[in-house]
Structure 1
Amino acid sequence: MDARGILAKLRHGTALGDDELAWMAAGLADGDVSDAQAGAFAMGICRSGLDEAGRVALTLAMRASGDTLAWDLDAPVLDKHSTGGVGDCVSLILAPALAACGAYVPMISGRGLGHTGGTLDKLEAIPGVGIMLDEPRLRSVVAEVGCVIAGATGNIAPADKRLYAVRDVTSTVDSLDLITASILSKKLAAGLEGLVLDVKVGTGAFMKDVAAARDLAQALVGTANAAGCPTTALISDMNQPLVPSLGNALEVAEVMRVLTGQTGGAIVDLCAALGGALLAGAGLAASNDEGAAQITAAIADGRAAERFGAMIAALGGPVRFVEQWQRFLPEATVMREVPAAADGVVQAIDGEALGLAVVGLGGGRKVERDVIDPAVGLSGVVALGAQVRKGQPLAVVHAARPALADAAAQAVRGAITLGDAPVGAGPLIVERIG
């Protein structure tokens, strides 16, 4: 078996066998498949597609290309994955809340991608926190705290790491089959007993319409379940930021306000819905509603905050971060309000444009080697349907330099549409799959 023969079958539209997909995944991981062959493979999958069996086979082969974790714990091992949105800091709340409800959560997370923020970048806004753990340390933190949020080591699904880099330069990132295999190969390698997927749809998401989000959710759920990991998905609204702040330290501040009982709203509702589905599926709650109530209670009574603080300390951060978080988070040197040009009702929010404004401030990466400024971003972003008066702030820009603040302010004005008609936010949970 060799890459040329497999690529020839792809070129002619012939379905690949499980052994051929396994050979390609192993070759991607160990270098037997060249960059040119990897690009041709990605393009072939993108053009010809895979059936469900092929999608499962590719996912399992990519998972098997590196290390896989197995657990011997006294409760279910669960996790959540989001397809990415703006102001989406659910993971930082949900992981400790699940741990407080009796689950173990080894959450392997990623960095910012495009206009969306990365969970690891947000964690690293906290001084001292280190997110690259070797396997013994990851296991230790999970056992001691109940949850950990960390980066993938080089040995977790290395075939995906190689293929993803090729996809980015061959315009094959949006292949449903390759997206599914990429997401699930890493999650399945973590040895999960249950997974919930938060598939975002709207202006701040990668999927802009419900049909596309549904296709992705169905592919992910079908593949994960067929691979042996009980999985459900929620399609959630991303037509406005989930919290009113965008940017790494600013979103951590929002998380701390939630965990310490100072605020709530949509992010708590989404955490409850996602966590409720996980707890019910794992037998830790009798129903989704009961599971959601458990998550809400763990946030409200401070147990989630306690687990979060223990996790931050275990990752090298401040021991008393929960009690003194305001003194530890970095602050931008320039803060500027963006006043509304006229009276009106917020008709629409272009979440992607807001996310890109944060990237322009230095809060995200344009290329992989960029260094993130954790302090910059936007706060106080107005909500969809809000009534604003002329001169009232649409948002506050946090920047390192005045010129960057000017550019971000202009982007904010362009991203927020005002009008006269009353507007109501749509349902937070658009659809449930599985």
Structure 2
Amino acid sequence: MQDPTAAPAFPMRRCPFAPPPEYDEIRKQAGLSRVTMPDGTKAWIATRYEDVRAILGDNRFSTVPSTPGYPFIAPARASLLMNEHPPTIIRMDPPDHTRYRRMLTKEFMVHHVEAMRPELQNTVDVLLDELEAKGSPADLFEDFALAVPTTVISRILGVPYEDRAFFQERSKAKLDLTADPEVPVRAGAEMRDYLDRLITEKMQDPGNRSDLISRLVTSQVVPGHMTREEALATIELLLMGGHETTANMIALGTLSLLLNPAQKDALVADPSLVRNTVEEMLRFHTIVHYNGPRVALEDVTVAGTQIKKGEGVLALISAANRDPKMFPQPDEFDIHRDALHHVAFSYGVHQCLGQPLARAELQIVFTTLFQRLPKLRLAVSPEEISFRHDAFVYGVDALPVEW
């Protein structure tokens, strides 16, 4: 019988500002290590930067959840992914993934996002006006961090911003790893029903629309390049990914600067540091901390370890971004660090489609926030902040501030 200590239980609980400490110990071991998933099956775990990139960049590993051996990190996650029909593009392998991704690149290309910067700046300015008008104290997460990307992605997709409470609640339910397995499935169904009605409205009254949903309908669904169900899956993914991740990154990034006032002051004094600052925030927090489940489609050797066909693998980007071989003193938050080669947006064909937009939003937020609110500070002690340890996207439940 295998020694249970040789395959510890996964997932492990992360610290507020660091991945689980077990990752450091696993990284020191030769080759890859085994962990025990919640359903009792075993999976390989990769924690070194080079090993994580090797797995994520190798198409001999599948991201399709229905592939036998796929490692599910929680019953709620298994229920959600196995009931996702059709799947989203992030759970497709090439060539399907490649074909559908090409349909979405226009709105998220670097030059397109750069042209949006004045609009993004105006959005941040308006929301800070509203925050100041509301008065101190406030919840920076709800009133600003969540509002910025929600406004932006709603505008890009053509989703009514006034419906934000509906889709924010469903998104949160889908990402809750501790929920009853029926909860994320029901939330997903409600989200797609909502988006299906929205598609119908746009098809009945096409007008002169330039939003992404209208473009998908007219250029992909109507000609038959994409089914209506596939469009729904795609739009749902973009809506969720477009606000959940960036919202939590804004909140955690703000918190990091508040807890490191010398670095905050350096950024205020020299706004050119913002690009480094944002990359370090992305590396340091790695909020999509369970990204990277894969299953081997054939026998593959990584770090001297043979992974057999049908065996699950967890290529943990949060561990890779704390690998001291790549990032000296990795547990220090340092905005002067060159962290551009982090893997917070994943690696390989499944790198985040929206990363140019996320970077632009974050850069604009952090060249504006502390200039507008130079006395911004926490309204509670750091120990009182509640972190979302059990969510697929890490973050905070609230960020009470005053100024």
The structure with the greater share of residues assigned to helix is 2
The answer to whether the superposition gives a TM-score over 0.5 is: no
Tell me which interval the TM-score lies in, with the shorter structure as reference length.
Answer: under 0.3
